[in-house]
Structure 1
């Protein structure tokens, strides 16, 4: 028992730890490390900038309190040396004194609120100002609020830029892998369809020969007629699979006639307790470009699904609407319906609510409508206990 658990956990780990997981973990480690290092650099640069501003304020103090004997060379050099950190001076009441450095003078002159907005921004970044008391005036002082230098901003936003780049890289990789998987899946579908058509071809041809032999024997007329129907049915199935394995040729067909023939076909195989209605809003000819065998297969699958959902008793409504640029086909039943969590799964391979079945009917239906006819198919409406409506939209 313990050995089985170990094998189970090993297989689960192998399933989860693939190259995509490793790539994601590697990207997360890079971003995490970069964020921590950037925060460290940001704090270090912030401490240095605070020290520079304090030195600049001291230089201002030296200039303001200077006498004729004071050497101002160093103070002036420090004062003019700050060409990156923006600073705004206010008085003890936090009123701007119009003394500022490293701000756009054109914007200051053009917008009277520019300095106020910048002051609010600086207070958010560095709430505590650097204070310079004024000795000549009791209780008077100058306050200096400062913002972030360009280097500080670049260091702060660098992890975000890197995160975006890595995120785009992962998205592109996943999309490429998904596209590759989709192409592989398409090749598998096409190969399976061609092989099925090929395998059916030989016995169907042989059966056609035996039908002709039986036809020449008197008394087999009724038997030959029934066998011939089944052989023709096999030929139709083989033709459908052959067209899935290759690009089908679309022809302009009257959808009223195509759908009517399929309803008649399914009606003969349904119980007498199932009522079929076909509404075309009075139209007798609604043309559309379709592959007749494949389009018939689509309608057949939807009608069979409706029959299975009703369990032999109920009503199936088929409606065709001829619109300006599209033809809309609704297949509605009053069967058991589909739960909300399963609506998104109905077209996935292998999904089925039947005790028997491969869960490929609606998958093939979606493939035929969307890939070969460039249309759309979806569950328009479904409610448990009330039924389901499938909608097909074909471009004219």
Structure 2
């Protein structure tokens, strides 16, 4: 599903790039054609004005007058030889009324856009006027169209990717829930049978030690079953003292860790309260500690540091093992990704899900350097 999502993302981005590049090419060609047509219209307008100035009294000026009056879209400013504005056409009168600098600003803008047309008023002495013109509103809108389309296409792709990602997450959630419920259900039947056999064993004299050890394993299996059942539903959070909760899990791991591994714990306060689901939170700590043990290969140090801040709590699990390459620091949380030959790649994925979805916190690699160690950080909102 993840590969399909990445594939769809690549296809959508490729289509978007093709659409945008094609649109920009087409709009640039179209705007050049429209600009050329507008330049011809201004040239015709200038010629019509010249004809009006030089025509004899009995000349037919209907065509010239029509050319002049039909220009209602291209903005024009007429100046004398000293650069003073003599006349203007097709400019926003409301803006001119509000801003006395509007006309000079437009003149400066037109000078940068197009070279002026020269219109001779008299030959002797030679007097010229200069016609400056700008782009019509339609041409300006056409030039902005690719940017508008870029925003629309980007929003469309973002919505589609969000929908695909939401669908992927929903499918993943259904898989987790289904797997968790089925696991809890499958564990339930043999557990009930084992508890019955345990009661029978207790009644036999001389079997007390065996029964005691077997009860620990049964309780452990019941805890695992309880954890899976809670993942399959929305767990309830309760106010819990974190230092003791984590300390008990460290004690459990310490008994099962190699003798050359040292586990230490510290906190900036003796008691720190947090809203957690104890069985699932223990699972996360257990997972991080077991990963640290695997990284050290039988010897080294593991430290757990808990810090209480005004708005949040942090738990850092640090080992001095082989470290995690930067290229893998995000991948290790993906379901199915494992560096172990027999690993399922579900431990860290489940841990991240428990912290981020059920506890509304964060679990991430705070620091890691190859052959020096790794720090995983749990961040919990108060």
| TM value normalised by structure 2 | 0.89
Alignment of 1:123-134 (within 5 A): 123-126=111-114, 128-134=115-121
Q: Specify the alignment match of 2:270 in structure 1.
A: 284
**C-alpha offsets along residues 214-237 of structure 1, whole Å, 9 cap, x if unaligned?**
222222222222222111111111
| Distance change >3 Å, CA 377–CA 159, structure 1 → 2 | same
Alignment of 1:354-365 (within 5 A): 354-365=340-351
The answer on 1:143 being equivalent to 2:143 is no
Q: Specify the alignment match of 1:374 in structure 2.
A: 360
Asked if 2 retains the 8 angstrom alpha-carbon contact of 1:132 and 1:142, the reply is: yes
Q: Specify the alignment match of 2:223 in structure 1.
A: 236
**CA distance in structure 1 between the partners assigned to 2:86 and 2:317 by the alignment:** 75
The answer on 1:165 being equivalent to 2:123 is no
Runs of 5+ consecutive residues of structure 2 not aligned to the other structure: none
TM-superposed deviation, 1:173: 1.8
| Distance change >3 Å, CA 330–CA 22, structure 1 → 2 | closer
Instruction: Give the secondary-structure state (helix, strand or coil) at the position aligned to 1:223.
Output: helix
Asked if 1 retains the 8 angstrom alpha-carbon contact of 2:80 and 2:86, the reply is: no
| Distance change >3 Å, CA 219–CA 316, structure 1 → 2 | same
Q: 1:75 is matched with which residue: 37, 60, 64?
A: 64
| Distance change >3 Å, CA 389–CA 18, structure 1 → 2 | closer
Q: Specify the alignment match of 2:376 in structure 1.
A: 390
TM-superposed deviation, 1:76: 3.8
Alignment of 1:85-100 (within 5 A): 85-90=74-79, 95-100=83-88
| Distance change >3 Å, CA 314–CA 225, structure 1 → 2 | same
Asked if 2 retains the 8 angstrom alpha-carbon contact of 1:88 and 1:96, the reply is: no
**C-alpha offsets along residues 237-270 of structure 1, whole Å, 9 cap, x if unaligned?**
1110010001111111111110000010111111
Instruction: Give the secondary-structure state (helix, strand or coil) at the position aligned to 1:145.
Output: strand
| Distance change >3 Å, CA 18–CA 48, structure 1 → 2 | same
Asked if 1 retains the 8 angstrom alpha-carbon contact of 2:53 and 2:121, the reply is: no
**CA distance in structure 2 between the partners assigned to 1:18 and 1:259 by the alignment:** 42
Cα RMSD (Å)? 2.8
Q: Specify the alignment match of 2:203 in structure 1.
A: 216
Asked if 1 retains the 8 angstrom alpha-carbon contact of 2:366 and 2:377, the reply is: yes
Residues paired across the two proteins, number: 380
**CA distance in structure 2 between the partners assigned to 1:256 and 1:369 by the alignment:** 17
Moved more, 358-367 or 159-168: 159-168
**CA distance in structure 2 between the partners assigned to 1:22 and 1:345 by the alignment:** 23
**CA distance in structure 2 between the partners assigned to 1:297 and 1:221 by the alignment:** 30
Instruction: Give the secondary-structure state (helix, strand or coil) at the position aligned to 2:331.
Output: coil
**C-alpha offsets along residues 141-165 of structure 1, whole Å, 9 cap, x if unaligned?**
3332221111222223234323332
Q: Specify the alignment match of 1:54 in structure 2.
A: 43
Q: 1:179 is matched with which residue: 166, 183, 189?
A: 166
Q: Specify the alignment match of 1:101 in structure 2.
A: 89
TM-superposed deviation, 1:88: 2.3
**CA distance in structure 2 between the partners assigned to 1:37 and 1:311 by the alignment:** 63
**CA distance in structure 1 between the partners assigned to 2:370 and 2:124 by the alignment:** 83
**CA distance in structure 2 between the partners assigned to 1:343 and 1:18 by the alignment:** 22
Q: 2:305 is matched with which residue: 300, 316, 319?
A: 319
Q: Specify the alignment match of 1:9 in structure 2.
A: none
TM-superposed deviation, 1:211: 1.5
**C-alpha offsets along residues 318-357 of structure 1, whole Å, 9 cap, x if unaligned?**
1111222222111111212111221122211122222321
Runs of 5+ consecutive residues of structure 1 not aligned to the other structure: 1-13
**CA distance in structure 2 between the partners assigned to 1:26 and 1:395 by the alignment:** 41
| Distance change >3 Å, CA 96–CA 382, structure 1 → 2 | farther
| TM value normalised by structure 1 | 0.86
The answer on 1:188 being equivalent to 2:167 is no
**C-alpha offsets along residues 155-189 of structure 1, whole Å, 9 cap, x if unaligned?**
23234323332332222122112211211110110
Asked if 2 retains the 8 angstrom alpha-carbon contact of 1:254 and 1:288, the reply is: yes
**C-alpha offsets along residues 339-394 of structure 1, whole Å, 9 cap, x if unaligned?**
12211222111222223211111100011001111111111111222211111121
Instruction: Give the secondary-structure state (helix, strand or coil) at the position aligned to 1:392.
Output: strand
Q: Specify the alignment match of 1:3 in structure 2.
A: none
Q: Specify the alignment match of 1:6 in structure 2.
A: none
TM-superposed deviation, 1:35: 4.5
